[in-house]
Amino acid sequence: MDRYVGVLGAAVAALLVAGCGASAAPTAEGSPVVSSTSAPDESTSTGQPSADVALMEVSPEVAAAGSRVKLYYPAETMRGVAFYLDERAEGAWEREFTLVAAIGLGEPTWAPIDEEIAVDDIGIGGPGPDEVALPPELSAGSYRICTANAVDEFCAAFDVA
């Protein structure tokens, strides 16, 4: 399925609430990745959990600092191109970076959470993948990527080795 780009508005969001079927995202080896959560935990949640359908999946499940990961959407969820990168520290999620997915012929980019970064205000639908770059200074540990400009925030967890 092709990705499509358009203006993210209330009408599009309403169509998404109707729901879509789920499937697993393929890895480079062709096996499914199931390393996601339906919605952020209550400590930072702004969205509502969705039944048992993973809204976003990260591939690979274990990545290296400075590498790129792909984000898949089994329910073909609408989202923007901006994401947050949270690190698990002392039992809580700490928001560390803003990530911006590659669009068109552009390159993915990122910035520390306390710095401003320009982000195109567009909506994307379909199963993905969206490609984001991980900052090279990440330490080994547990992380999650969350939507930054979707109607509801949802996240997917992964590890950095």
CATH number at residue 107: 2.60.40
Please state the rounded mean pLDDT for residues 17-40.
35
Predicted confidence (pLDDT) at residue 131 exceeds the cutoff of 80:
yes
Looking at residue 21, what is its pLDDT?
32
Q: How far apart are CA 114 and CA 65, in angstroms?
A: 20
> Tens digits of per-residue pLDDT, 68-115?
999 999 888 899 999 999 999 999 999 999 999 998 888 999 999 999
- Give, for 17, the enclosing helix (H) or strand (E): helix 10-17
**How big is the chain, counted in residues?**
161
Q: How far apart are CA 56 and CA 142, in angstroms?
A: 16
Predicted confidence (pLDDT) at residue 6 exceeds the cutoff of 50:
no
pTM score of the predicted model? 0.69
Mean pLDDT estimate for the chain: 75
Percent of the chain with pLDDT over 90: 51
Please state the rounded mean pLDDT for residues 41-62.
64
Looking at residue 120, what is its pLDDT?
84
How many domains would you assign to the chain?
1
Please state the rounded mean pLDDT for residues 19-28.
34
Looking at residue 52, what is its pLDDT?
53
71 is in which domain, residue-wise? 4-160
Amino acid making up residue 115: E
Looking at residue 152, what is its pLDDT?
82
Predicted confidence (pLDDT) at residue 65 exceeds the cutoff of 80:
yes
Looking at residue 76, what is its pLDDT?
85
Rg (CA), the chain: 15
